[in-house]
A and B are shown apart, each in its own frame.
Chain A
C-alpha cells in the first residue's frame, strides 16, 4: 500500500481557499487517492477521490499531478466549520477495501 505524507498542520483565513497538499510518490497505476476529514467527535467524512484526472464536487476540488506522485485538496472558500483533520489516503489496489489512515493535516480556519 502506498504511503502518504501530509504536513501536520495548516492555517487558513476564513473565506480564502484552503490548499492541502499530499505526497504519494509510491502510488501504483490503479490506486485511487481519497480524501476524508474528521471534525472533532465525529466519524471521518468522505470528501472526494480520484485516479488521474482532476475532480470537483460540491465540497472540494482534487488536483492530481500528471505523474500522480502528489495531489492537492482545495476547499474554495473555507469557513470555520471546515476546521478538521484532513486525511489523504491511497486506497489499496488489492481486493480488500482497506483504508490505511496516516496522521493527516489539522486545518485551522480562523
Chain B
C-alpha cells in the first residue's frame, strides 16, 4: 500500500493533446518529486519541489510543466508530447527537502502512452 496516490493509473494521449498527471500525499511531507521511468530502465529524476517551490529541473523539455498548488498536491501538465515520452511517471515525497536520512516514498505511477 502506498501513501502517495497518483491518478490516473493509465493514460493514452495523442501528440496534440493536453493532459495532466496528479499526485497527492497527506503525510505532511514538504518535498515532492517527479521521476520518469522507461521500460527496463531505472527511474530518472525530473523535478523537485521544496516547500511548494521548484528547486530542481533536470533539464526537462518544456512540454512537461510541473505545478505544486499546495503542500499535498503535485501536478505534471503535458502538452505536445512525443512518442518517446511514453513511460511510467512516478511521484514521490519526503518529509524534509534535502535531508539525507529521510526516505522518499513513491506512488505506483501513471503509465503514459503517446500515440
Contacts and interface: CB of A to CB of B under 8 A. Distances in A.
B45 interface: yes
Contacts of B43: 44, 99, 101
A17 interface: no
Given A97-B31, A99-B45, A101-B43, A43 B97 contact: no
B94 interface: yes
B106 interface: yes
B60 interface: no
Interface stretch (A18-26, A27-35, A66-74, A76-84): A27-35
Interface residues of A, number: 28
Of A34, A91, A97, the most chain B CB neighbours within 10 A belong to A97
B104 A51 contact: no
Given A44-B90, A102-B42, A103-B42, A96 B104 contact: no
A98 interface: yes
A98 to B, nearest CB: 6
Of B43, B99, B107, the most chain A CB neighbours within 10 A belong to B43
Given A42-B108, A43-B2, A43-B109, A100 B45 contact: yes
B44 A101 contact: yes
Interface residues of B, number: 28
Contact of A98 (B56, B101, B103, B109): B56
Contacts of A101: 42-44
Nearest to A92: B100
B86 to A, nearest CB: 15
B69 interface: no
Given A94-B98, A96-B98, A43 B48 contact: no
Please list the 6 inter-chain residue pairs (A to B) with the smallest Cβ-Cβ separation, ordered nearest first.
Answer: A101-B42, A43-B106, A95-B98, A46-B103, A43-B108, A97-B98
8 contacts: A34-B103, A42-B108, A44-B92, A46-B106, A93-B100, A97-B31, A97-B97, A101-B42
